[in-house]
A and B are shown apart, each in its own frame.
Chain A
């Protein structure tokens, strides 16, 4: 029994596919119409307004880092939400969880927003001194950190787009074959996909490889960005956990983003038949685990520095936790860990659609405060030297900063909406495959779900 013969099944004669899958899979997320264009217009306006704010920052120049703090925070938020969202699908595909199938595409569509990450990164490059600060991961490598950081961010974006594209090829082919609107374009995109055994095997190998690459690129990007754009800007701050903390809180943010988007997709996108309580329940469990991990990573870093009692470490803790950014730390702690933890603790809450969505919204708000406390604080330190001497004054968000943050969100939403026009919003072939591998069967006096596990 080879798996290829199994999976080539849906493409050829389409025996097991419910007609709904085919229809829903091919329709755009928001069925055209004025609502879609209105949303595009509103988001576009917000994005442009934010862009103006960025332009004014640009005109003020790059001599001072502090005004760019919120811009950098927005970048980290982008990386930790939309950058991480495709990982949910990639990771679950690794573990072979069947419930991932309906949400795979919704998660991978975020890779399109990777373009925004790449664009957003560009001005940041000029804010990091070319001459290496005293503390750096680069040890005087040529081109560091600018060249390498750019390569990693670009690699992340490309990898995400490739993951999205490769995963969508069978669906493009289906659109081509079923004569959907714009079938010429779909024919081009489908790359002469016929659904042969070899093609399926290649597709699977490519998805595995790209998923692994995306994961590595994400970890690398979070590591380098958090080190070069936060840690090395604060003299004397030496915290080896910080990159890993960024990875974990980034995964948490990506998961939360996905949950919120799934809720919206269910509501307005007409995928209610596929994305249901099963998905939210499972994602809720994952979110609970990641909330606990957030606390664990934060606490592990905190206790070591706090117990150490060295003056420089106390100053760093002052800066990020108890001092000028206490107003950002407290909500970050409550919203990233405490509140969602207490909400998701209850199975009844997890096993609903509103519960995980609510917790995800809390987590996203927490992420906002967390990145503000980290990046704005790090950017507001302007002194150089071996150790930090004094704490900077807190930098509260101005109107322009709010606009910058809003532009990031609007830009992502805009790209996502436009992408759904082109790419089927349901991973049709994965759902079809899942339906084949799952059978309801009578067992003793009960009906049970039987899941096939081809090895």
Chain B
């Protein structure tokens, strides 16, 4: 996935879309006060400069699906592991909730279900039937919308063709009005994400690169406009 920060406006549409798509629990006021709110993707907001010239900077942070994920080796029961496609997946039935993975995640994108979550009617009718409703005591995090990936592959197989670029779009990327989030197969040089990264390679970086986690999410730096003095 590529995140073009030059396009991100901090509108939070991705956050809402993710919340709706993935049955992420309701973040009531109480949850915020307890610091137990969940957001599989969140927009970090930074202020630069003092008031009149102040600028807001936005940084969407989601699970980076690291190739050397620090969360994976520390799980005692293999509840978090690397699947053959390079996704960092969480196996809910396997998880016993030691929370070591969350401690060892430098991006802080892993969330713990401190309690059994309820969706008061009529919100319970809005739950996505393709996504597990997580019980209490386990970890959860961004899956790159695994259900959409599986569906894309299934449909492609049904039509007897390989998965095409654009078949699979996670909810956040789909909802992004400025197309700042681009999802695709970076190994395919013709894919949109590969071409974008190729064209903007000078702006590309990855979060906390010095940690050596080798993330699969690439950020493209914001283009700074020179102030005319």
Those of A379-416 within 8 Å (CB) of chain B = 387
B68 CB, nearest partner CB in chain A, Å? 6
Contact partners of A310 in chain B: CB under 8 A: 210-212
Q: Does A312 contact B (CB under 8 A)?
A: yes
Q: Does A446 contact B (CB under 8 A)?
A: no
Measured CB to CB, the nearest residue on chain B to A236 is B210
Contact partners of A14 in chain B: CB under 8 A: none
Q: Does B184 contact A (CB under 8 A)?
A: no
Q: Does B70 contact A (CB under 8 A)?
A: yes
Contact partners of A309 in chain B: CB under 8 A: 68, 70, 212
Those of A305-332 within 8 Å (CB) of chain B = 307, 309-314
The answer for the CA separation of A238 and B226 in the assembled complex, in Å, is 39
Contact (Cβ within 8 A) A314 B212: yes
The answer for the CA separation of A116 and B211 in the assembled complex, in Å, is 44
Contact mask for chain B residues 63-76; partner A; CB cutoff 8 A; 1 contact, 0 none:
00000101001000
B74 CB, nearest partner CB in chain A, Å? 9
Measured CB to CB, the nearest residue on chain A to B73 is A307
Contact (Cβ within 8 A) B73 A311: no
Interface size on B, residues (CB 8 A): 6
Contact partners of B211 in chain A: CB under 8 A: 310
Contact (Cβ within 8 A) B210 A312: yes
The answer for the CA separation of A388 and B211 in the assembled complex, in Å, is 14
Those of B179-229 within 8 Å (CB) of chain A = 210-212
Contact partners of B210 in chain A: CB under 8 A: 310-312, 387
The answer for the CA separation of A314 and B210 in the assembled complex, in Å, is 11
B184 CB, nearest partner CB in chain A, Å? 27
Contact mask for chain A residues 93-129; partner B; CB cutoff 8 A; 1 contact, 0 none:
0000000000000000000000000000000000000
Contact partners of A307 in chain B: CB under 8 A: 73
Contact partners of B70 in chain A: CB under 8 A: 309
B143 CB, nearest partner CB in chain A, Å? 24
Contact partners of A387 in chain B: CB under 8 A: 210
B69 CB, nearest partner CB in chain A, Å? 10
B215 CB, nearest partner CB in chain A, Å? 13
A89 CB, nearest partner CB in chain B, Å? 46
B103 CB, nearest partner CB in chain A, Å? 14
The answer for the CA separation of A309 and B211 in the assembled complex, in Å, is 8
The answer for the CA separation of A313 and B211 in the assembled complex, in Å, is 10
B192 CB, nearest partner CB in chain A, Å? 30
Contact partners of B68 in chain A: CB under 8 A: 309
A299 CB, nearest partner CB in chain B, Å? 18
The answer for the CA separation of A115 and B70 in the assembled complex, in Å, is 50
A373 CB, nearest partner CB in chain B, Å? 24
B211 CB, nearest partner CB in chain A, Å? 6
Contact partners of A314 in chain B: CB under 8 A: 212
Contact partners of B73 in chain A: CB under 8 A: 307
A312 CB, nearest partner CB in chain B, Å? 7
The answer for the CA separation of A312 and B212 in the assembled complex, in Å, is 9
Contact partners of B212 in chain A: CB under 8 A: 309-311, 313-314
Measured CB to CB, the nearest residue on chain B to A313 is B212
The answer for the CA separation of A5 and B211 in the assembled complex, in Å, is 66
Measured CB to CB, the nearest residue on chain B to A312 is B210
Those of B10-28 within 8 Å (CB) of chain A = none
The answer for the CA separation of A401 and B211 in the assembled complex, in Å, is 38
The answer for the CA separation of A311 and B214 in the assembled complex, in Å, is 10
Known pairs A307-B73, A309-B70. 11 more at Cβ < 8 A?
Answer: A309-B68, A309-B212, A310-B210, A310-B211, A310-B212, A311-B210, A311-B212, A312-B210, A313-B212, A314-B212, A387-B210
Q: Which residues of B contact A (CB under 8 A)?
A: 68, 70, 73, 210-212
The 13 sampled A-B contact pairs (Cβ below 8 Å) are A307-B73, A309-B68, A309-B70, A309-B212, A310-B210, A310-B211, A310-B212, A311-B210, A311-B212, A312-B210, A313-B212, A314-B212, A387-B210
Which 9 A-B pairs give the minimum distances between C-beta atoms? A311-B212, A310-B212, A309-B212, A309-B68, A310-B211, A310-B210, A311-B210, A314-B212, A312-B210
